A and B are shown apart, each in its own frame.
Chain A
Amino acid sequence: MNTDELHDLISEVLSGIAPEADPSAIDPTEDLRDELDLDSMDELNMITRVSERLRIDIPERDYPQMRSLDGAVSYLARRLATHA
């Protein structure tokens, strides 16, 4: 999966968690919690759904790397590359 596809996947997951928000309108470098008004339950929902879709385990210590859209894309790209 390339970074564009990862971006789309995360955006799709985020749309399911915050239906009223528009992930395409956010600053991808900023904290998703502020950009989309997510709380910690939304955040964990996002991480577990992405992890299920990609069939990878995301350890809790890596959650901070998933805080922004860009951060999440590059973290997942790295994880998938080492997974392959």
Chain B
Amino acid sequence: MDRVDDRQQGLVWRTCPIRDLPQDLGTLGLPASDHARAASVADPAARRRFLGGRAVLRATITELCPDLDGRTVTIAVAPTGRPSIAERADLHVSVSHTRGLAAAAVSTGGPVGIDVEPLERTALPPGRAWLTRGEQARLAAHPPSEQHRQLLRLWVAKEATLKAHDTRITRRGIAIRTDRGYAVEVVEPEPDGAVVALLRWEAIAHRFVLAIATLPGRPMRAGPSALRP
């Protein structure tokens, strides 16, 4: 598992290639509750990704909170789907899994959201369905060879922000401003002031794009630059 340790900021995130998971998922050391939930996932590959997400989340919790045993904490799931840790209400957690990679972020400093997509994913919904006009215009200004990557970056940035907010805010309602091509910022914060404004992403080994949404003023170190080949 790769990880980014930003304990000073109270935020750690890690990724785990699905292929690094053992063939026998029973040997992952996950509690029965995780396996019980996995049993309701019909597709074996999806089940594997779900358990990969749980494994990386639990490892990340232990990483950030040495006083807590991530292997045994209770992961509660709200009706909206948002995960939380029953033993520690002050801990904010987020999970994402896609074909090939699971990722988790844990924060003691406020809401966090994480999202990951493979760069090879090309069939994105048309921008008009989920981008603001400004974003569409900025996207069009990129050279055609860069547009796909930029589009995916916007996608993961928005999904990460949605997870951090835990609200079904419209995608069109979140505008993302790209800065030097790497940092992105939400420029239309929620009216209630629960701003989740700073995001970073990292193309991991040129195969995945990952975004983390967290509170403003919480700079994060760059994410892992490579996965094991």
Contacts and interface: CB of A to CB of B under 8 A. Distances in A.
Nearest to A38: B46
B130 A37 contact: no
Interface in A29-77: 34-35, 37, 39-41, 44-45, 47-48, 60-61, 64
B125 A48 contact: yes
B155 A41 contact: yes
A39 B98 contact: yes
A35 B123 CA distance: 20
B148 to A, nearest CB: 13
Interface string B112-123: 000001000101
B42 A35 contact: yes
Contacts of A17: 123
B129 A44 contact: yes
Q: Which of B42, B117, B171, B172 has the most CB of A within 10 A?
A: B42
Nearest to B115: A40
A41 B129 contact: no
User: Chain A interface mostly helix, strand, loop or mixed?
Assistant: helix
Interface in B23-55: 40-43, 45-46
Q: Chain B: interface residue count, which band? A: 20 to 34
Interface residues of A, number: 14
A45 B42 CA distance: 22
A17 B129 CA distance: 17
B126 A48 contact: yes
A61 B53 CA distance: 29
A40 B168 CA distance: 12
Given A35-B42, A37-B43, A39-B98, A44 B172 contact: no
Given A17-B123, A37-B46, A41-B121, 19 more contacts: A34-B40, A34-B42, A37-B45, A39-B98, A40-B159, A41-B124, A41-B155, A44-B125, A44-B129, A45-B123, A45-B125, A47-B125, A48-B126, A48-B129, A60-B170, A60-B171, A60-B172, A61-B170, A64-B168
Interface of A: 17, 34-35, 37, 39-41, 44-45, 47-48, 60-61, 64
22 contacts: A17-B123, A34-B41, A34-B42, A37-B43, A37-B45, A37-B46, A40-B159, A41-B121, A41-B124, A41-B125, A41-B155, A44-B130, A45-B123, A45-B125, A47-B129, A48-B125, A48-B126, A48-B129, A60-B170, A60-B171, A60-B172, A64-B168
The 7 tightest CB contacts between A and B, nearest first, are A44-B125, A37-B43, A37-B46, A60-B170, A48-B129, A48-B125, A45-B125
